[in-house]
């Protein structure tokens, strides 16, 4: 269930922006292993945002999930991959103080095997993308699952 391999800590004197590298499958197809995120620490979170948070039971573990809704006790967060688990269906709501920030931008690095012109063209069209919940809502994209636990 680990999601981030690195993170810039929010706090006094820390920069309001940082970079994070994604590991793990819980946000596929939105985020993949090796994707880089530009994170705004302390940013206001809205439903649909991709957020960086501390795991409620292992606070040294940082995870990336989608904030679904604000409930009593905190945010209900889910991964975009319904089969990966490791979200609020396992640990319940996440207190707001454990939400560190929200992802603003995603950069997908070029993989070593992507050398053909077609592979390079696909990469160029999808390598950089803003992580804007409002833009996805406007496009009618379904970006979270919500089963009986919601």
Tell me the per-residue pLDDT of 106-131, one tens digit each, with 9 for 90 and over. 988 877 776 788 878 877 777 887 87
Query: Which residues, in sequence order, are bridge partners of residue 115?
Result: none
Tracing tokens 């967060």 back to the chain, one arrives at: 77
Q: What is the pLDDT of residue 148?
A: 36
Q: Which helix (H) or strand (E) holds 48?
A: none
12: DSSP letter:
T
Tens-place pLDDT, residues 39-92: 999 999 999 999 999 999 998 999 999 999 999 999 999 999 989 989 999 999
pLDDT reported for residue 132: 61
Kindly state the helix (H) or strand (E) to which residue 125 belongs, with its residue range: helix 117-126
Is the pLDDT at 145 greater than 90? The verdict is no
* 140/67: higher pLDDT: 67
- pLDDT at residue 131 in the model: 77
Residue 68 three-state SS: strand
- Nearest CA to 19 among 105, 98, 97? 105
Three-state DSSP at 120 gives helix
């Amino acid at each position: 269930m680990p999601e981030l391999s690195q993170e810039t800590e929010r706090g006094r004197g820390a920069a309001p922006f940082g970079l994070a590298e994604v590991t793990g499958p819980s946000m596929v197809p939105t985020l993949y292993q090796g994707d880089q995120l530009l994170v705004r620490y302390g940013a206001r979170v809205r439903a649909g945002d991709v957020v960086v948070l501390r795991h409620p039971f292992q606070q040294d573990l940082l995870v990336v999930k989608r904030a679904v809704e604000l409930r009593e006790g905190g945010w209900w967060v889910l991964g975009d991959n319904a089969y990966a688990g490791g979200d609020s269906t396992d640990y319940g709501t996440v207190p707001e103080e454990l939400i560190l920030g929200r992802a603003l931008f995603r950069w997908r690095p070029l993989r070593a095997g992507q050398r053909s012109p077609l592979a390079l063209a696909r990469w160029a069209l999808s390598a950089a993308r803003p992580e804007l919940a409002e833009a996805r809502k406007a496009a009618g994209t379904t970006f979270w699952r919500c089963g009986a636990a919601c």
